[in-house]
Structure 1
């Protein structure tokens, strides 16, 4: 069966050119000129392997289209590549937050587009193979052992550390997954806090997570700032991440007890929320791109103060993206309100 690609582009000549080139390479191409047509085609198709999506479209922009497609259970795993002339950092972060896996800036060379499409298709084939291996491992009890090892890698001292109340827990959607946390006192008296999320789920994500944990622990122990640690980790992980088509969102922070300050860098869209006593909870915005996109990425640092009664919550996107039986997402607003309601409890009570 041919792999199927939906091309959403309002420029007719560009859309038809992409159709011609990809069809020549053996793909089945479906065209849409705007958001309404794109959503109609998504509803009509039993399956898609890839979506090429223009950002600047009449009526509904690409970010909104991508978000709506991501909410459809049958299409939530379909990779999206944005095609756009808008190449600012904010635009790219918005795209990745909406669910895109790649960004191609116009004007682009067709050879580059075809190379990225081929890489994604190969990655999907690898993921299907890993899925079969995971099923085999599950049937032979090997996945339980992998889960035990992953839990052991996230065993660190919790409770009162460096004068703050700390709690952490990881509950992957499957036996193993792509989430990790690491809390370690530094030799300079500060507390290092890392939360990371590798794209994808299951055994493939878990294998990458182990490497990310090792590299980040080394980087945060060596370097005096979380942004520098993140940049070093990205350089060391870049080739491996691109080789398996994975991205990593990371929140890394150092807490200084003497000043009650947290300096942090947020790569991508890790969910980090600061709740100051007497004030509503607020999201700490991303300060850089996820690891695995650019090999020379820099990560800006911001500082927040943690006074007595303040709360810092760092979690995976599984919280706001969780759905109830009616398939309604929990969402960021409800998460913020929930944190406001329970902020006076202990860290362990909040976590559980």
Structure 2
């Protein structure tokens, strides 16, 4: 890489519109005392990436997608190095959200709700390339580290592609354990067996859950097989199996202690969750629907004193615990990775994860640079 600050460029995949991707050379900026530069080694793909690619979520101009990056620090300012305890050559994961560290949400630790940037996007993969220096996503050879960014050190011997699981596994810990209250002996129903649904299962079993039930579509048999491997008490094929009967059998008719809905688009899953959780149980909603839930059973929620929690993002504590789990169980957890693609195959990778390529059975899809 040319070391002259005026000639260095990063290769980045840029989304310019619905199903429109192009490769660009983006100048690498000089790195100031509080800044850093990461050479991206791997970036996990998320359902949000697929939704933006398809036009199901809006774009605010052209962006470099990717909010699950792992890489090596190749430049870091003296002040940033001292404050972060990092140096060149350290491997890190990057938190998707960029806090302002001034607003009420950031001060309280919930920086996914940061208001300090106004209406401007403040998460990786969503900040326009028009916002200098443009390297705001993981689908690139390099990633700019803003002084406010949150980095998580990773072990040097942890495979970068496996390390990208810090994001879905962090969601599993946050959604499937922290927000549900799952602990030793609990029962949990996970609706959906994508990588975050499977992560909820893994986290709940690690927390001591007695029974975890996981659902999936007929096309998800390979994911349900993984669910069985990771300790699911039962796997249920939606539209074929009787989920209510499985819940009654495993809970003695009382209903599960908690439900996590990770399914995208399905409003039926919300009413199903409310119908299968026990009185005073908890329902966590983690799947974007894009529409209202018709005939929402509000009386059931009221009369059974059900707690419903929406969730956005993960948070520092869950990410740190996810990295600790990856460090301890990397060989066990790397089986979640079904596909690895090169950076110039990003559009194909998105179509694979989105189920648009016949014969492919995706779970965790990763770009390697």
Superposition TM-score, scaled by structure 1 size: 0.25
Q: Which has the higher contact order (CA 8 A, sep 6+)?
A: 2
Superposition TM-score, scaled by structure 2 size: 0.24
Structure with bigger helix share is 1
